[in-house]
Amino acid sequence: MKQRLLFIVKYLLFWMLYFSAARFLFMAYQRKLGGLLGAMVHGWHMDLSMTGYCVLLAAVLLALLWPLSAKWHRRILDATTLVLLIPLSIVILADMELYRHWGFRIDATPLLYLRTPKEAMASTPIGTAILMLLALGLLVYLSFRLYKLLCHSHLNNTTRGYWWFTPIFMVLAGCTALPIRGGLGIAPMNPCKVFFSTNLYKNHAALNAPWNMLYSLTLTSDINHRRPDTVTAEEAQSNFDNLMYACSDSVQHLLRTQRPNVVVILLESFTAKAVGFCGGLSGITPCLDTLAHQGIAYTHIYAAGDRSDKGIVASLTGLPAQSENSVIKYPSKTAQLPSISQKLHQLGYSTTFYYGGDPTFANIQSLMYQCEFERIVAHNDFPPEQRNSKWGAHDEYVFDRMLAETDTAKPPFFKMIFTLTSHEPFELPRQPQGYLNRPLDELFLNSIHYTDSCLGRFVAQARQRSWWDNTLLVLIADHGHPRPMDDANHTVRKFHIPMLWIGGVLACEPHEQPRVGSQIDLPATLLSQLSIDYSDFLFSKDINNPTTSEFAHYTFNHGYGFITAHDTLIYDHISQQPIKTARTDAVHTNAGAFFYKYQDYFLQLGQF
């Protein structure tokens, strides 16, 4: 009995050391060790909770293994520990790399992409994948050696026990409920319990990656859970009505006709930081910057979310992005959404969606059909020699395909193209051009430059076509990007994106539109110019209408931002406190009202 109890104590110590080492590795991998002590001290609470699950399993096994010899104790507990170490180490290492790109600790998000593993792996450079596999083997090996060093002596000395060992160890297993739950307090273990700083990165570092992923899975089982509101229902309704008010007589007509052809070009990861006409780096997007002097340049637009699956929904349907999940995973909800393509298809437009990758990735194909796209042109529609990237066909081939088909398309038509070359791992079909002395930034900016060149070539050729004079091109990014400058996931700058309208159908002089707006405002802004009712796009407003409020709402993992022309609020759902406090109470109230109304709307989707 003594040796078994000592094993449990040492087993608990082993897992606590393992999770502490994982936290150190996480912070070292981010090259941000500042706050390590605070993250360790506050994170031990969650480490103990995760350790509780491992000790629970060991205690149950010891309760059942009492008739067996030391050899069988050793074999079974060794195998159990190894089985635990492998998936836990995979999560820990994946979290280290994903945090660099996403800015939040690993949760259920990667599971969205497991239906299409080839495309999911396409984001990871081969070198990184190999290094991660080697790191996995090393981490599991060293951890298992530590386990043997700490715990094996007690298994070696274990003798056959007695029947009454079973109830004792089952009681001990039951006691692990206390650390698993996080104590005797009213609130069980949750991420907020380990948050200790106004610095979001330090709070993230305190989280236990495997625990956080398991916790996220419990939440994703019910996408309809409601976040605490910061305003009352009455305040929400009154302030929301004021926010969304617009005088229809003030619409600025920018087009020569109400039924032009429309082409929406959704640009993968085109952060405003890389676009000159939005105040970003010069020389990265020369074509886009030149075109900005030939159309309407929207310089203060913000993405709705931080991933493509959120951006494509927001651009087409005007629905604000979700925090941890994406509505694209739930066809019962997306089926209830209005969309630009649906409106135009019902008015006789032919509708086609172009994408060089696999449209089943992230459930894009389901959304496109629900949005009444008649045709989807995707990776299998391109010859093998053009599918020469991990994602599929490079942007130049997709633009060429759309141009050729547009020449024979019956007007009026609505076409949407979603580029992909500027997605990780930033593969290029031609010699790159160097910009910065930072390898990852250089890869990213080179890919932006490549897609910009494809766009410039497409527009130059389109100008020679007969359909150009009655066509509007809307160029907008799907989301921003941490690079360059390694912005934290919640920062305003990360969500700043370009939007540009060009085309022969424009009746106005080229000009800059500096009003603050959002990706979700595209449906109202576009449909207003076409004199199409957009009242069912409840969260979308016409940016060109000077009577609408200037604001943008964006969502990041476990929080949201609310931007006006002169103020900003960034709010964290976990701590239920602002990360950045607005200077005026009105911004806090308006942000809370917008979020309240959005939650109400979202929770009702698919429920009727």
575: pLDDT strictly greater than 90: no
For residues 467 and 117, which has the higher predicted lDDT (pLDDT)?
Answer: 467
Average the pLDDT over 465-482 and give the result: 97
- Taking the C-alpha atoms of residue 60 and residue 13, their distance in angstroms, rounded to an integer, is 18
What CA–CA distances, in Å, run from 414 to 188, 250, 264, 352, 465?
A: 51, 26, 8, 7, 16
pTM, full prediction: 0.75
Element (H, E) at 95: helix 70-102
pLDDT at 567 (0 to 100): 96
> Is residue 117 pLDDT above 70, yes or no?
no
User: pLDDT at position 369, please?
Assistant: 87
3-state secondary structure of 353: strand
Give residue 608's pLDDT band: very low, low, confident or very high (50, 70, 90): very low
Tell me the backbone φ, ψ of residue 60, rounded to 5 degrees: -65, -40
Average the pLDDT over 179-208 and give the result: 81
Q: Minimum mean pLDDT among 23-32, 179-188, 271-280: which range?
A: 179-188
Instruction: Give the per-residue pLDDT at 220.
Output: 55
Distance from C-alpha of 348 to C-alpha of 244, rounded to nearest angstrom: 29
The domain ranges of the chain are: 2-220, 254-604
The string of DSSP codes covering 411-470 is SSEEEEEE--TTSTT---SS------SSHHHHHHHHHHHHHHHHHHHHHHHHTTSGGGGG
Q: Which two tokens stand for residue 467?
A: 């359909």
pLDDT at residue 100, as a whole number: 83
Name which of 6-20, 224-238, 261-275, 304-318 the model is least confident about: 224-238
The interaxial angle of helices 2-29 and 70-102, nearest 10 deg, is 20
pLDDT (average), residues 246-272: 92
Stretch among 188-202, 357-371, 487-501, 518-532 having the lowest mean pLDDT: 188-202
Q: What would the mean pLDDT of 306-314 be, rounded to a whole number? A: 94
Rounded distance, CA 210 to CA 18, Å?
12
**Bond preceding residue 167 cis, omega within 30 of 0:** no
Over residues 187-203, mean pLDDT: 78
- Between 200 and 204, name the one with better pLDDT: 204
Band of pLDDT at residue 129, cut at 50, 70 and 90: confident
Mean pLDDT along residues 443-465: 95
Phi/psi at 364 (5° precision) = -60, -40
Measured over the CA atoms of residue 545, residue 549, residue 551 and residue 552, the dihedral's sign is negative
Burial label, 68 (beta-carbon count in 10 A; 0-12, 13-18, 19+): middle
Which spans in 277-409 are helix H?
Answer: 286-291, 308-317, 331-334, 340-346, 364-370, 395-407
CA distance 58 to 12: 10
Q: What is the mean pLDDT of residues 394-411?
A: 96
Q: Other C-beta atoms within 10 Å of 88: how many?
A: 23
The chain-wide mean pLDDT, for the chain, equals 89
Which CA distances in Å does 367 have to 75, 267, 329, 422, 435?
Answer: 50, 18, 9, 22, 37
Block residue for tokens 């809370």: 592
Determine the Cα–Cα distance for residues 178 and 176; give it in Å rounded to an integer: 5
CATH class entry, domain 254-604:
alpha beta
The answer, yes or no, to whether residue 252 has pLDDT greater than 90, is no
In the numeric block, the tokens 């480490």 are attached to 47
DSSP state letter for 98: H
Q: Which two tokens stand for residue 528?
A: 């207003």
Q: What single-letter amino acid sits at 291? A: L
Tell me the pLDDT tens digit for each residue of 218-246. Answer: 765 556 678 888 999 999 999 999 999 98
Extract the tokens encoding 390: 């991990």
Higher pLDDT, 261 or 42: 261
The arithmetic mean of pLDDT across residues 69-93, rounded, is 90
Mean pLDDT value across residues 600-607? 81
What is the structure's pLDDT at 438?
55
Q: What is the mean pLDDT of residues 474-491?
A: 93
